[in-house]
Structure 1
């Protein structure tokens, strides 16, 4: 599967905010601008397409304001490079002191884009992946609050390694990084009951899944994102995220178990939003899907269903 080019950070933030198409984001920008005191601003899908390209142009100040308001991220976190150059430096394991691990509620490291330098050996991908796999297994025996800081520190290491690797090693690191952020987001939402922090962490997971070109990981992350509005009785937002999750799943080789899990997630959201009849229809469909089976295997990281 060829790795998609483009501004993955903006696309991930768009999907996380519930805008499943470029047209939906363009419409939202045009609609919300007057409420911010900006008149006469109209953005079309062609402009969104340019922003999601490999070399996105820096938006005008008024658009800058609306984008950051709608998506809740800084312009650099949305994949834009200011004309005057970035003030940020990428984390490095080669020189200088390592940055401190983020605490609960602290700002997460942004998933870096590809760079031209390759300094890590090809073995680094499997080594990093092995630690991610160990964290996945440890979750079932170690107290989540104890394991959580180690997972975030490991994710920080992954962000430092990404600019120093080339494909296919880079995709291996990115996929393991996405899984690490997914596990951290699950702990924050289900165990630590921090939905706001979980939302930011899952956005980083979605960015990393995009870098890995792994649609099934992307689908799993979007489905976990649906839990957050679902548990807050925001059915529309939950359904939008499930629609995006299924779109991603169709791009991969989803197993019957994976499709059934997506139905189970949406069923739980429907139940919490007060529609048990819709939930029961989804559960019946999940049962039929499991009974029919499929030729595709379920990824090892789907260990929660």
Structure 2
């Protein structure tokens, strides 16, 4: 018997997209997630049916935590739930910031806190493996919105749980292979957070661990993901030849997987390595190839984490290549385009590209401190919502670069920067 046509189509569409095809499937997955994060598991198909009705209401607090875990941390209003109106006195600015940090911590405890259940279940099932993938996606979503500052410990806890399940759990051969893949993907996520936090040695160790998991699981997707991140890390640490080699290894592994967008990203990673070596012709060839592949659009082979690779990110990565080649006017224009195309849900990247705009204006043949200061003020507007070590370093670099310029706009921006980062 088919399920009735729902009133809350947003919830149903997202449920089905995540392969919970029936209300019974969803209720079973809900119980597994609730158990993993230590929340009550009392849910019935009737409750799921209520959430899919014309009047889904607003779930109670424990249910909100479980739902946040299951759906990767998205705002529940995006699932059709209606937030109740509240009446309370306005909070002071510092109280609002503290409450926002607490809300983010609770949201992270959604998928990430499955690691508080470190002891392996009696039997590892595909549902448990799925919870690790959900933890990974939650980390990526939070990183794009807020930066990595609050996330590394959550990633470490989730990764510890995955390792413990591998070592002490009971599972079939195929479930074990999938568990290795999920653990490797968590290693990549943790490696990225370490990279963003300025810990390149830790990032390299985690990426190497992910490569080992890929080999044990014989999984080309994980291998390509790890090599691609190693390319990015090599560029950031000033090893352009390694950046090119790792990117080429990545798109060799990803070639059979049917994702033009993924291959586009990897060619752009290769382009950055060529640009850092000053090879304009090789850079241009890789950039053109990246645009050609991206134009082919989404495909069934796209990995879930590649959602960050938007047209804005494509423009932004090319702008970084132009900066490495010393083409600062083109770099500034490309970074402006990247910010215009970047959604609010990718705030961290938008903030970084905005700082890049300012730096490009200062590095031009004829520096423009007024344009740099304007971009700098726009970058400060992302604080304190975005908490990224990379953003903090970029702002410090901008402060050092703009300080020698005596323009009034420069000194005004420095005053604003000091005020925004005080304490």
TM-score of the pair, normalised by structure 2: 0.41
Could you give the per-residue CA deviations for residues 53-82 of structure 1, whole angstroms, max 9, x where no partner exists?
A: xxxxxxxxxxxxxxxxxxxxxxxxxxxxxx
The residue aligned with 2:197 is 192
Does the aligned pair in 2 maintain the 1:264–1:286 contact within 8 Å? yes
Q: Which of 124, 128, 143 is the matching residue for 1:124?
A: 128
- Closer, same or farther: CA 173–246 of 1 in aligned 2, 3 Å: same
Alignment of 1:196-215 (within 5 A): 196-215=201-220
- Aligned CA RMSD, in angstroms, stands at 2.5
Q: Which of 180, 183, 186 is the matching residue for 1:180?
A: 186
Q: Structure 1, unaligned stretches of length 5 or more?
A: 1-91, 96-117
Counterpart CA distance in 1 for 2:290 and 2:147 is: 31
The residue aligned with 2:286 is 282
**Matched pairs, number:** 190
Could you give the per-residue CA deviations for residues 147-170 of structure 1, whole angstroms, max 9, x where no partner exists?
A: 111101101111111232333222
Does the aligned pair in 1 maintain the 2:251–2:267 contact within 8 Å? no
The residue aligned with 2:276 is 272
The residue aligned with 2:254 is 249
DSSP 3-state at the match of 1:298: coil
Does the aligned pair in 2 maintain the 1:218–1:245 contact within 8 Å? yes
Counterpart CA distance in 2 for 1:140 and 1:290 is: 21
The structure, 1 or 2, with the larger RCO (C-alpha pairs under 8 Å, 6+ apart) is 1
Counterpart CA distance in 2 for 1:249 and 1:258 is: 8
Q: In the alignment, does 2:304 pair up with 1:300?
A: yes
Q: Structure 1 residue 296: deviation in Å?
A: 4.3
Q: In the alignment, does 2:234 pair up with 1:222?
A: no
Does the aligned pair in 1 maintain the 2:120–2:164 contact within 8 Å? no
Counterpart CA distance in 1 for 2:284 and 2:292 is: 12
Structure 1's consecutive aligned runs of 4 or more residues displaced over 6 angstroms after TM superposition are none
- Closer, same or farther: CA 303–178 of 1 in aligned 2, 3 Å: farther
Alignment of 1:1-305 (within 5 A): 93=119, 119-163=123-167, 164=169, 165-189=171-195, 191-250=196-255, 252-292=256-296, 296-305=300-309
The residue aligned with 2:346 is none
Does the aligned pair in 2 maintain the 1:125–1:170 contact within 8 Å? no
Counterpart CA distance in 2 for 1:158 and 1:198 is: 18
Counterpart CA distance in 2 for 1:195 and 1:268 is: 18
DSSP 3-state at the match of 1:144: coil
Q: Structure 1 residue 181: deviation in Å?
A: 1.2
Could you give the per-residue CA deviations for residues 162-185 of structure 1, whole angstroms, max 9, x where no partner exists?
A: 232333222332222222111111
Counterpart CA distance in 2 for 1:220 and 1:94 is: 27
Q: 219-228 vs 283-292, which deviates more? A: 283-292
- Closer, same or farther: CA 195–276 of 1 in aligned 2, 3 Å: farther
Q: Structure 1 residue 255: deviation in Å?
A: 1.1
Counterpart CA distance in 2 for 1:295 and 1:135 is: 23
